[in-house]
Structure 1
Amino acid sequence: MLKRYFPIFEWLPKYKKKYLAGDFSAGITVGIMLIPQGMAYALIAGLPPIYGLYAALIPNLIYVFTGSSRKLAVGPVALDSLIVASSLAAMKLANVDEYISMAIFLALFVGVIQLVMGFMRLGFLSNFLSRPVVSGFTVAAAFVIGISQLKHFFGLEISTNKTLPTLQAIFNKLGQTNFYDLTIGIAAILVIIVLKRVHKKLPAAMVVVILGIIGIYFFMVNDTDVHIIGQIPKGLPGFLLPEFNTELLIKAFPTAMALAFIAFAEAMTIAKAVEDKSQEYHTNPNQELRALGASNIIGSLFQSFPSNAGLSRTAVNVDEGAKTGIASLISVVVVGVTLLYLTPFFYYLPKSVLGAIILVAVYGLIDLKYPKQLWNQRRDEFYLFLVTFLTTLLIGISQGIIFGVLFSLLLLVYRISRPHIAVLGKIKGMEYFKNLKRFPEDVEIHDEILMIRFDAQLFFANVHYFKSQLMKEIGLKNDRLKYVILNAEPVNYIDNTALNQLEKVVESLKETGIVFKLAGAIGPIRDILQSSGFVNVIGKDNMYVRTAEAYADCLEKMERTALQEKVSLQHR
């Protein structure tokens, strides 16, 4: 039981000395990454930079003990920070202190939801986020995040967080551009790109942070030349119970639900990718929910805003040779040392440098190859991508993911209401029955026989489509049609509505002298047909184990053995 809820007790006793070098290297590297990233993502969330370091500390520490993935790096992430910013901005909070309190309370609320979902074993819900939805959401979020940072890049004071108003405000204020900020931001981007090309493992973000601080400290003429971070509190975060009341609960509920769901889906996507690559351990979705929930709950008690698994940090963690959660433990130590002793050095850090770090990071999230692939291969899924992308970009983050999921469910309903139906023919010289459209020259065709295969369960949403397509095919046959054979092998369920319609079809065909036969029904379907009395409607002689037997019986009446009849009619 202890190992189930605290997986550290599963891998720590088996820890090997040879793991230490990789864990230490990864821990130091990710810890250094966390410092500028944490401050940058706090800016995205609309919070003072110190809260990014708080979010990089306690949540990461708790995840080491509770996470089932040994290589996931937890802390503040761009996407979740953007959701926090857009949601809190819509609440129109009175002042900065209230804004910070709400962000911390949001972490507590998200954590509680994730923890409850974990104990209720709702990890499967992440499956409802299809790849086109996730991709459309991520690409749009990358644009939204990038646009939100342009104000720091140009050194402009812009209050809105909405995408189009932000672009409009930047355009209107271009004449007020602070060219010190702009120059520093462009230089920071160039340095990061060059360093990454020299060696991808170089801590480029930390390098530009150090260069920015040194440059401003020695060369800034006065405090108004460049927008800098300013005073950052020193020391570890203190224990503080988040303030909340009924009004806050109501306000935060939609955002907390969306954030809990999105964060979990994002974390599981990263965790599964790492697991598949290493094949060293198994990631448990329900335990991941509990781990992320505990991380956010305890993190909120130490002034953290919502945290999650970071894609770029996890990738670096893996590349640097991390084997266990010891790597994350070392990252926590690096952040802790920074909070205790190094925060005064960040006073002169330009905000445009953090903006540059964010712009480079989100550029990697923009994948245009995938939508192009969808356009060429699956147009319906491309439109799903497009709806999610445009809704997220133009309306909002939460609305984007909700519309994406709803649209994907509508697409699913459309597909199951109009499933694939094939008219079959017997391949010449073989006992294979294949789609006439795929093998038009290789099949036997008899005017008196119509064979249909229905590739889905038969229920209220698609039975009328089935009936209309069947009648259409019957209409295309001439008056010599005597038999209709339904290959029921792909059908795994028939509901009462469908059974009722099927009985009407059988009775209607009988009146015109056409016999309805059913072949290949699986056990559960035979149980339904027997218990509903449908077998009596169709007649026992018209139930077959295989399509070949039904087909042969239509051409020449064949005697069935007792065993054949038993198998075709077997039921519980």
Structure 2
Amino acid sequence: MATDGRSERLKRVAESSLPIVRWLPAYDRSWLRPDVLAGITVAAAVIPEGLAYASLAGLPPQTGLYAALLGTVTYVLFASSRQVIMGPTSALAILLLAGVGPIADGSGAPYASLVVVTTVLVGLFCVAARALRLGHLVHFISGSVLTGFSTGAALYIVSTQLGKLFGISGASGTFFDRLWFVLSHLNEAQPATVVVGLVSVALLLVGRRFFPRVPTTLLVVVLAIAASSALDLRALGVEIVGRLPSGLPPLAVPSVPEAGVVVSLVPVAFALFILSYVQGIGAVQTFARRNGYRADPEQELLAEGMGNLAAGLFGGFVVGGSMSRSALNDSMGGKSQVVGAVVAVVLVVVLLFLTGLFTTLPEATLGAVVTVAVLGLVDVSKMQRLGSVSRSEFLIASASLFGVLALGMVWGVFIGVGLSLLHTIALVSDPKTEVLGRLRGSDHFVSRETYSDAVEIPDVLAYRVNAELFYANTNVVRDDLEARLRERGSPVALVVFDLSSSPIVDLAAAEFLGELEADLRSRGIDLRIAGANQEVAKILQATDEEGTLGEIREEEAIASVIDRWRRAQNGP
């Protein structure tokens, strides 16, 4: 019996941590054909993009394939999403280089070793966040931050590829530094490299526009390799990828640098963690809604954590959910993470037997792949919509965008997230409040701002706060209520504080209501509570030991509170 109980507990743990244990036995075999076709198509995009993003991260090209393989394999095991594909992304790659590169230069530590440590730190952040059940905190980072950051990141990434597209080396620094360097050194551009880069960009754009379901990226890479070999482009000054080692990713246990260096890597890893999870969960939620199922944000933290731990320990770099590759998967009819398994098999075959094919691939073509891939991140229409609808969110998006361009990717992340959190705090600390009136011929109380025919009761002020009531907004609410009382043309004998739109009331807010009641009572005004849910009612009952707020009933309507108060005033 004890053995059976232990087995049952192990089964529950496995099912909660490894969703594949649940979905694989119930897999619908009619999905196998579309899943395999989608997997092959996605792999055709993953291979060239993996090579390009490794170059973008300042790492050998094969590390992009390692990261793609390890991210995909772990995601198949741990993911709650059916369509999302995990692997390296352009934004993560450039943020990694921008954050870790200066630390490596300043400390003298090998860059590749610091990348391993940073990637492992990202994984540990994800696992710790999952253990603390912090997946819901992502909702405090507004979509406007992502819009601004994505646009800024795309422009910054394009600036890092201009050197490859024109054959100009030496550019560094911010977006403006890189752009000025390339423009001021155009006389050094390599004609053959320019032709290869521009032709590659043109072919990729044509494929994206007119043949979205065709693996254009892989076809362009194959054509570039063929042209490079046939025309000996290297002899014409075109940089090529060179030899890629074959074989599966090797175990790369990181050599831990000095404590001070590790400390300096922590904010970079944290920024990568935020960006990776925000990007990934956005894709997860998008395709879960589109395909009619629910994904688990906490499970996605674990999946992302395990993916980054594996990528760090086996020669890859930071991975996250890819919106573009996930969209390709969904458009091809992918139904489950069997797609990811097929992608992994293709990557294993390439790493074992086909790395030699990429030896003569021009670096300019990889630059073109990155450039075209990130163009989709530039969302001008969304920025325009923010500008016309919400000035505050437009300013947040703009600050994030220009933070990336002027200060770099790491600061762009922190500026955007910081402003988003400040905006959220401002909204909850200065909530919308309303004076309520009774609809004629009914006992329903509604906002007088919305319903002009709602009538106020002469000696009663019905008042509502449309937000949680907590320590940060009690002073604002007190001042607003006092202003409402002064605006009344007739004396008020009763204030009914409607808490139906305040699902949470903390201890400080409960004490505030007690202080407010005492203050109003000293001026001959009673205070009563309406609409309190069960938890709020318990808190208020516990803090109102003397019962000065009257009997607090759960979910009591305003009309009922007023009727009980009048009966008490009139006596038995």
TM-score computed with the length of structure 1 as normaliser? 0.89
Amino acid at match of 2:349: V
2:455 to 444, 453, 472: 444
- Pair 1:386 & 2:398 matched: yes
SS at match of 1:443: coil
2:191 to 179, 194, 197: 179
Q: Point out where structure 1 has 5 or more consecutive residues left out of the alignment.
A: 562-572
CA contact (8 A) 1:89 1:161 kept: no
Deviates more, 1:241-250 or 1:20-29: 241-250
Please report how far the alpha carbon of residue 335 of structure 1 lies from its aligned counterpart in structure 2 after TM superposition: 2.1
- Pair 1:368 & 2:383 matched: no
CA contact (8 A) 1:518 1:543 kept: no
What does the per-residue CA deviation read over 1:58-112, in whole Å, with 9 as the maximum and x for residues that have no partner?
3322332333333332222111111111012221437999112222232223223
Change (3 A) 1:498 1:136: same
Please report how far the alpha carbon of residue 420 of structure 1 lies from its aligned counterpart in structure 2 after TM superposition: 1.3
What does the per-residue CA deviation read over 1:17-71, in whole Å, with 9 as the maximum and x for residues that have no partner?
4322212211211222122101110111011212112222233223323333333
1:464-503 aligned within 5 A: 464-478=475-489, 480-503=491-514
Please report how far the alpha carbon of residue 175 of structure 1 lies from its aligned counterpart in structure 2 after TM superposition: 1.9
- Pair 1:333 & 2:348 matched: no
Please report how far the alpha carbon of residue 366 of structure 1 lies from its aligned counterpart in structure 2 after TM superposition: 1.5
In structure 1, what is the equivalent of residue 86 of structure 2? 74
Change (3 A) 1:18 1:176: same
In structure 2, what is the equivalent of residue 250 of structure 1? 263
Deviates more, 1:42-51 or 1:480-489: 480-489
Separation of aligned partners in 2, 1:504 and 1:94: 57
Amino acid at match of 2:382: Y
What does the per-residue CA deviation read over 1:115-152, in whole Å, with 9 as the maximum and x for residues that have no partner?
33334433333333222222222222111111111111
Please report how far the alpha carbon of residue 495 of structure 1 lies from its aligned counterpart in structure 2 after TM superposition: 4.3
Q: Which has the larger radius of gyration?
A: 1
Identity value in percent: 28
Q: Point out where structure 2 has 5 or more consecutive residues left out of the alignment.
A: 1-12
1:459 to 470, 495, 498: 470
Q: What RMSD, in angstroms, separates the aligned Cα atoms of the two structures?
A: 2.9
What does the per-residue CA deviation read over 1:384-438, in whole Å, with 9 as the maximum and x for residues that have no partner?
2222222223222222222222222221221222111112222223323222233
What does the per-residue CA deviation read over 1:363-399, in whole Å, with 9 as the maximum and x for residues that have no partner?
1111222232223333222222222222223222222
Separation of aligned partners in 1, 2:109 and 2:540: 66
CA contact (8 A) 1:107 1:299 kept: yes
Please report how far the alpha carbon of residue 534 of structure 1 lies from its aligned counterpart in structure 2 after TM superposition: 6.4
- Pair 1:144 & 2:156 matched: yes
In structure 2, what is the equivalent of residue 570 of structure 1? none
2:287 to 271, 274, 280: 274
Amino acid at match of 2:454: V
CA contact (8 A) 1:516 1:542 kept: no
Separation of aligned partners in 1, 2:529 and 2:498: 6
SS at match of 1:56: helix
2:231 to 219, 229, 242: 219
Separation of aligned partners in 2, 1:272 and 1:195: 28
Change (3 A) 1:286 1:551: closer
Please report how far the alpha carbon of residue 2 of structure 1 lies from its aligned counterpart in structure 2 after TM superposition: 2.6
- Pair 1:537 & 2:548 matched: yes
What does the per-residue CA deviation read over 1:151-210, in whole Å, with 9 as the maximum and x for residues that have no partner?
111111024142221112112212212222222222112112222333211111111111
Separation of aligned partners in 2, 1:503 and 1:17: 63
Separation of aligned partners in 2, 1:21 and 1:58: 24
Please report how far the alpha carbon of residue 257 of structure 1 lies from its aligned counterpart in structure 2 after TM superposition: 2.2
Amino acid at match of 2:187: G
Change (3 A) 1:15 1:178: same
In structure 2, what is the equivalent of residue 51 of structure 1? 63
2:246 to 212, 234, 241: 234
Deviates more, 1:33-42 or 1:525-534: 525-534
Separation of aligned partners in 1, 2:559 and 2:52: 67
TM-score computed with the length of structure 2 as normaliser? 0.89
SS at match of 1:13: coil
Separation of aligned partners in 2, 1:506 and 1:478: 21
- Pair 1:408 & 2:420 matched: yes
1:94-243 aligned within 5 A: 98-220=110-232, 223-243=235-255
CA contact (8 A) 1:31 1:334 kept: yes
